[in-house]
Amino acid sequence: MASKRQLKGDIKFIAEELVSECIAYIMINSEVNLEETEAIVNDVVEYYSKALIDINAVRKLDKKERGDNLKAIRNDLGQKVPEFIARIAKLCEKK
């Protein structure tokens, strides 16, 4: 199992990459769907903040619960990332 520090670093890296993709989309495309791009960025930032709060909250739990909660956070990350990527890919589709 990864440490809290590693999990926080992973989530930060992924959030930064997703936001960077949105910024690249805005800079490269002439027909930008700014509202949807902004919504994706806001959702990524909201998820990042919530995940950090959840990770910090495991301090108050016993060792078994701590491990289970960190696994749940990592599993949630594994589900959310493809959703964010699909939303970004949908932006880039030709109309």
Give the helix ranges, DSSP H, for the chain: 4-28, 34-57, 63-92
Q: What is the pTM of this model?
A: 0.87
pLDDT, tens digit, for every residue of 55-93? 998 888 888 888 888 999 999 999 999 999 999 999 888
- With vertex at residue 27, the alpha carbon angle to CA 23 and CA 31, rounded to the nearest 5 degrees, is 110
Average pLDDT over the chain reads: 90
Q: Is 10's pLDDT higher than 80?
A: yes
